[in-house]
Amino acid sequence: MIDMAEARPLARAPNSPVRKAPRPSRSIAPQVIDIGVQVTVVAVIAGIWEFGARFGALNPFLLPPLSVVLERLWEDILAGTALVDVGLTLYRALVGFVIAAIIGIPAGILMARSAVVRWFLDPLVSIGFPMPKIAFLPIFVLWFDIYDTSKIIMVAFSCFFPIVSATYAGTAGLDKWPIWSARSFGAKERELLWEVYLPMAMPQIITGLQVALPVGMITTIVTEMLMGGRGVGGAMIMAGRFADSVGVFSGIVQIIILGFLVVKSVELLRRRILAWHPETRR
């Protein structure tokens, strides 16, 4: 028979410490850390720029203070000139990029699925990919005009090669088992294209688009600098001709802001399109 005195729990000693249940540690999300580090780096660079130019460590003509550059940018925004230049640059870059995507994605898929198309396009892509595309700008000016058409075609030509290469690599490197399984269930070629090939190759295709869009932005700025006229690149060259360093750096700030917004927008679009993909769950 069990003694009730032994069954009762032992009384706690008067001087023994009370052990509290450990509290769950609150870890900071990696995204918050990344944003904090990026903001800190940008703030440090901006501070060095501002105070270095203000207190004589840097030549204020060659590198004007950041506050003066931002003041000029704000004045141009209020006057409407900055909005017009940014709008024209963005229009040329996006139209050329879309044209390249419309042509490059089907071409890459056809290269992966058709030996005849691959024999025809593979040498052209292999030669054109490493070639400096801006060398064709005089030809496009002769063939078309000195206004938007030649600039847009130059952008499309530059964006085509990374898009078609990424699409071909993503389609040709697909796992064969899902394709064989779909064919065994009677899937036709059109169904294979829309339900197997494109979804499985979509991450690689979007990666090619993410590479091509900054290339298109760079090409747009360079063509505007070389050909003049309205646009961020043309405004920077015009400011440089009149030794307006503040205007030049105002254009650089516009390019930084525009590039940041475009890249982040594409990243957000990638997460939306690939919401089903395992990479979005990391």
- 165-180 average pLDDT score: 77
Calculate what percentage of the chain has a pLDDT beyond 70: 78
Q: How confident is the model at residue 7 (pLDDT cuts 50, 70, 90)?
A: very low
Give the predicted TM-score (pTM) of the model.
0.77
**Residues 6+ positions from 227 with CB-CB distance below 8 Å:** 137, 141, 146, 150, 151, 234
Task: With a cut of 60, say whether residue 248 has pLDDT above it.
Answer: yes
Average pLDDT of the chain to the nearest whole number: 80
Query: Among the listed ranges 4-13, 37-46, 68-77, 91-100, which one has the minimum average pLDDT value?
Result: 4-13
- 150-176 average pLDDT score: 87
What secondary structure letter does DSSP report for 281?
G
- Distance between CA atoms of residues 146 and 141, nearest Å: 6
Q: Are 151 and 227 in contact (CB under 8 A)?
A: yes
pLDDT value of residue 158: 92
Q: How confident is the model at residue 281 (pLDDT cuts 50, 70, 90)?
A: low
- Mark residue 174 as left, alpha or beta (left: phi above 0; alpha: psi -120 to 50; beta: remaining): beta
Give the pLDDT confidence of 179-233 residue by residue, as tens digits: 666 666 666 666 666 667 777 778 888 888 989 999 999 999 999 888 877 888 8
pLDDT value of residue 219: 92
- Distance between CA atoms of residues 165 and 171, nearest Å: 10
Give the pLDDT confidence of 92-140 residue by residue, as tens digits: 999 999 999 999 999 988 888 888 888 888 888 888 888 888 888 888 8
pLDDT value of residue 164: 92
User: Two tokens at 21?
Assistant: 């249940």
**Residues 6+ positions from 179 with CB-CB distance below 8 Å:** 192, 196, 197
pLDDT value of residue 25: 52
Which of 6-10, 33-37, 53-57, 114-118 has the highest average model confidence (pLDDT)? 114-118
Q: How confident is the model at residue 163 (pLDDT cuts 50, 70, 90)?
A: very high
Q: Which is more confidently placed, 248 or 186? A: 248
